[in-house]
Chains A and B, each alone.
Chain A
Amino acid sequence: MTLTIVVLSLTLLAAAWTVMTGGLIRAVLGLAATSILLTVLMFMLGATLAAVFELSVCAGLITVVFISSISMTQTASKSDSAKWARGHLLHYWPLPILLVAVGAVVALLCSGLRVEPPPPAAAADVRRILWESRQTDLLGQGIALFAGILGVIVLFKERRK
């Protein structure tokens, strides 16, 4: 229980740092840290397959995509970036207070909440569920990937003059 609270607090801290930090690279690194901590939480809940996906895809691939985008669009000089970073921090200073307030309100609402015990379900394998019960999801995933590939091809296609 204590470990869960510690990891959850670190996740929220990483998320707040992602929003509040001035530099874009630091924000992306904060997002990667949030993903890694989310992976730890998933492992603690027993969702190992989803945790592996989260670690490799969200903490790895998406971070690479973000850093590539930032490096391809970076134009501001270092002094401009530092000036903007200070303004950004001043802009977001109420965020930690707001997050703690939201957490307190949810805690208050949860105090009267009753959690029913889960129904006795047969232990199912995630691979079996994915391939036998959720075939439409797999079809949707394939279509989404195909659409994404086409979208990237169209976006990066050289325009003929």
Chain B
Amino acid sequence: MPADAIAVLKAYWIFIVPLAAAGLICLVMTRNFIRVLIGLELMTKAATLLIIVSGYASGRLALAQAIVVTLIVIEVVVISVAAGIVQGIFLLNESLDIRKSRNMKG
């Protein structure tokens, strides 16, 4: 592997961790249900990029792409169902504030 390619890979690793951190901070600090989903999406973006970079580094890019396709399909399903749940919560509480959703006990 040429030195330039190694430098590129290191650059990717340096940017993937803050990207995941941004998603985690959005997920933890917000009080809005839709922003929680946005934080989850950002973390998924970091995971996607990590898988592709790992595939590129190990010479198994085709396998990494196959895994990423599966990840994207699952991501869409999760977001669609979660958006439906958020709308259900909004109809129940007339608010997207997490603090006002205290009637979710099973």
Binding site for B on A (CB under 8 A): 1, 4-5, 8-9, 11-12, 15-16, 18-19, 24, 27-28, 31, 34-35, 38, 41-42, 45-47, 49-50, 53-54, 57-58, 61-62, 65-66, 68-70, 72-73, 75, 91-92, 95, 98-100, 102-103, 106-107, 110, 113, 115-121, 123-126, 128-130, 133-134, 137, 140-141, 144-145, 147-148, 151-152, 155-156
Interface CB pairs A-B, < 8 A, 27: A9-B15, A18-B38, A24-B34, A24-B35, A41-B12, A41-B49, A45-B56, A47-B61, A50-B65, A54-B48, A57-B76, A58-B45, A66-B34, A66-B37, A66-B83, A69-B86, A70-B34, A72-B87, A115-B57, A116-B1, A118-B1, A126-B61, A126-B66, A137-B66, A141-B70, A148-B76, A155-B81
A residues near B55, Cβ cutoff 8 Å: 47
Consensus secondary structure, chain B interface: helix
In Å, the complex CA distance between A65 and B76 comes to 9
The number of residue pairs between A and B whose CB atoms lie closer than 8 Å in the complex comes to 218
B residues near A123, Cβ cutoff 8 Å: 62
